Chains A and B, each alone.
Chain A
Amino acid sequence: MSDEVKVVKVADSGTPAEQPASPPTFAPAVDVIETPDALVVLADVPGVTKHKADVLFEQGVLTIRGEVEKVGEPGMRLELEEYQTGNFHRSFTVGGGLDVSHVEATVKDGVLRLVIPKSAALKPRLIQIKEG
């Protein structure tokens, strides 16, 4: 079952939230799929649950953030480190034609999925060809 993520919309602009000093923060890898009705954004955020993820939209900028609960194994010795654990943060400018106020956000198995519907104007329409 997917878990709904809290979507926070900020009407007034302010400076983006400051990043925590530690653990480090990384930009998640993202896939973007365009469908006839929407833009689907998939972000790899392993270790992030719905309670620790949020989506902000202010002044045309969409920001996804996630915090991980646990970093490493405390009390144990690190033998091999091929990747670093950290929080996630990435921002995108959103062009016209996307209805961000109706974005649906879910997190499942460390993947954040956003479905951003297209505004009516951007949806493909079948245009009837009449006899001239």
Chain B
Amino acid sequence: MPIWDWDFEPLSWDPWADLARARERMESLLRRVAPAALRAEFPFANVWSGDQKAVVEAEIPGAKPQDLEVSVQGDDLTIRCSRPPEETKEGERYLRQERWHGEFSRSVQLPFPVDEERVSATYKDGILSVELPRAAAAKPSRIPVES
């Protein structure tokens, strides 16, 4: 029988119990991260493709718009983001820090060339979503089938 049910952890800091549960917590947080992420850099991205466009999404909660930068070159999308930790004033201290902080930059390879002029990006509820229309030349062309 476990001494600590990791789901019911104390909100205030208990360093010894934290050490005991740290590994379990790390593992369960990692469950969220798909195997591809083991080779990936931050922020993690998901990429979808369709006939007309590709979509890249990254989770960057709590970022300010000025700390986000998206650029496209060829079939590479680069995302730069910055998320500093919350400033602590005098008399304040972190009891627990699990969320990631810092400055990150990574590139994602796109599934096909895109029309750089028509790329658009939105940031909503902590999710950066980039829409990349396929470059005209790269669109699968319909070949009429004559009967």
Contact = CB atoms under 8 A, between A and B. Distances in A.
Interface of A: 26-27, 29-36, 39-42, 44-49, 61-62, 72-73, 75-86, 90-95, 98, 108-111, 116, 124
B146 interface: no
Nearest to A48: B125
Given A33-B92, A33-B94, A91 B46 contact: no
A30 B99 contact: yes
Given A45-B61, A76-B48, A78-B48, 14 more contacts: A34-B93, A35-B92, A36-B91, A42-B86, A44-B99, A47-B59, A73-B57, A77-B49, A79-B49, A82-B33, A92-B9, A92-B10, A110-B61, A110-B62
> Looking at chain B, what size class is its interface with the partner chain?
35 or more
A45 B61 CA distance: 7
The SS class assigned to the A binding surface is strand
B36 A82 contact: yes
Contacts of A32: 11-13, 94-96
Contacts of B88: 33
Given A33-B93, A111-B61, A95 B34 contact: no
Contacts of A61: 8
A117 to B, nearest CB: 13
A77 B47 CA distance: 8
A127 B7 CA distance: 38
20 contacts: A29-B99, A33-B86, A34-B92, A34-B95, A41-B11, A42-B86, A44-B126, A47-B126, A72-B48, A79-B54, A80-B45, A80-B46, A80-B108, A92-B11, A95-B10, A108-B62, A110-B125, A111-B62, A111-B126, A116-B11
